């Protein structure tokens, strides 16, 4: 006996990826429903070898369904997640709405799988921000060994993190530069994204940081350890899919880069590619469609007593969103629901 699964927001980038990953990982699905807004009703989406028709989320009855994967944004989630939860369906939410609620578990299965047990508080589990998810996967095994005190991270985030509009803007601006018939001014982003980088993701806060940077700080503390100090600079780059991060950590105990490399090689969800030669590292284009979080450029930071630097790359639509949500569903099934 398997699960009755709902995917809400199934016409979007993340929703479609959720369907792909459920099929790829052979999640034990007995029945599946795909939902979106009324204007998408009847649209067809793929689930493995099957074709499914979108249903209107507004009129959908969640009673009798086990798990709902939500990729519909905070505003819609605020309306529909409580309805699903009240009907006894566990919501795994990809928006930022519930991430900072102390009653709602914020989960990366390689890092804090036990937090899934708290789903009974509100019948909702939160999926972290894409840039946080890949970072904490890399930090967890190093923190277990040497206790991380401080993290300095600079991100290089792809336009898919801003949705289809972000991807379209990069594509249209790039074409307009090569074939300058029509100018494509910034719309989704604050400045031209083609052939440029923008040190601004989400809104600015009073202290000069952006909300994206604040998210990385708050979520790392909630998922991994409240005592870790984190400072982030988040940058949008002209890459379609795949987030990259330059991460510097300072630990309480000395950790040699070679031992750190061995630890990361054995850690779940991580693939180390670090040959210290031209091309001996992973870039975003190589991680697209992959499950792993890739680590390269591991080296000592000689400016502090116990410091390490490394490079971290992952498919943000997968580990940063859809894959993590499905992994949460798998963990929920194994630990709590025990079907399939």
Which token pair is 249?
């950590």
Nearest Cα neighbor of 81 from 60, 100, 102 is 60
Residue found by looking up tokens 């870790």 in the block: 228
Active-site residue, from 143, 234, 243, 312: 243
Determine the Cα–Cα distance for residues 139 and 116; give it in Å rounded to an integer.
20
Active-site residue, from 130, 234, 287, 312: 130
- Residues in contact with 21: Cβ distance below 8 Å, sequence separation at least 6, in sequence order: 318, 322, 323, 326
Provide the H-helix boundaries in 198-306. 211-223, 257-266, 284-287
Judged on CB neighbours under 10 Å (0-12, 13-18, 19+), 112 is middle
Determine the Cα–Cα distance for residues 243 and 152; give it in Å rounded to an integer.
16
Is 130 catalytic? The answer is yes
Determine the Cα–Cα distance for residues 92 and 126; give it in Å rounded to an integer.
6
- Classify strands 148-157 and 44-47 as parallel, antiparallel or unpaired: unpaired
CB atoms within 10 A of CB 284: 21
SS3 171: helix
Determine the Cα–Cα distance for residues 152 and 126; give it in Å rounded to an integer.
24
Is 243 catalytic? The answer is yes
| Residues classed as catalytic | 130, 243
């Amino acid at each position: 006996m398997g699960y009755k699964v709902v995917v809400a927001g199934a016409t979007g980038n993340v929703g479609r990826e959720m369907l792909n990953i459920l099929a790829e990982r052979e999640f034990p699905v007995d029945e599946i429903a795909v939902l979106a807004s009324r204007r998408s009703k009847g649209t067809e989406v793929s689930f493995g070898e099957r074709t499914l028709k979108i249903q209107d989320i507004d009129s959908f009855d969640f009673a009798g369904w086990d798990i709902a994967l939500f990729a519909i944004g905070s505003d819609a989630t605020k309306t529909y997640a409580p309805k699903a939860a009240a009907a006894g369906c566990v919501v795994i939410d990809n928006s930022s709405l519930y991430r900072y609620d102390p009653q709602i578990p914020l989960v990366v299965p390689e890092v804090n799988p036990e937090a899934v047990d708290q789903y009974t508080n509100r019948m909702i589990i939160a999926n972290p921000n894409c840039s946080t998810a890949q970072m904490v996967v890399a930090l967890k095994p190093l923190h277990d060994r040497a206790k991380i005190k401080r993290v300095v991270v600079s991100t290089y985030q792809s336009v898919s993190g801003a949705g289809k509009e972000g991807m379209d803007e990069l594509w249209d601006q790039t074409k307009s530069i090569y074939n300058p018939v029509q100018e494509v001014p910034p719309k989704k982003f604050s400045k031209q994204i083609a052939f440029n980088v923008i040190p601004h993701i989400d809104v600015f806060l009073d202290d000069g940081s952006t909300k994206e940077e604040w998210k990385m700080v708050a979520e790392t503390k909630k998922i991994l350890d409240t005592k870790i100090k984190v400072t982030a600079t988040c940058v949008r780059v002209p890459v379609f899919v795949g987030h990259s991060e330059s991460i510097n950590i300072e630990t309480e105990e000395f950790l040699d880069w070679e031992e750190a490399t061995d630890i990361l090689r054995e850690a779940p969800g991580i693939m180390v590619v670090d040959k210290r030669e031209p091309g001996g590292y992973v870039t975003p284009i190589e991680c697209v469609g992959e499950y792993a979080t890739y680590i390269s450029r591991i080296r000592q930071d000689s400016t502090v007593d116990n410091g390490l630097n490394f490079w971290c790359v992952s498919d943000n639509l997968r580990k940063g969103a859809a894959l993590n949500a499905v992994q949460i569903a798998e963990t929920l099934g194994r630990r709590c629901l025990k079907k399939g």
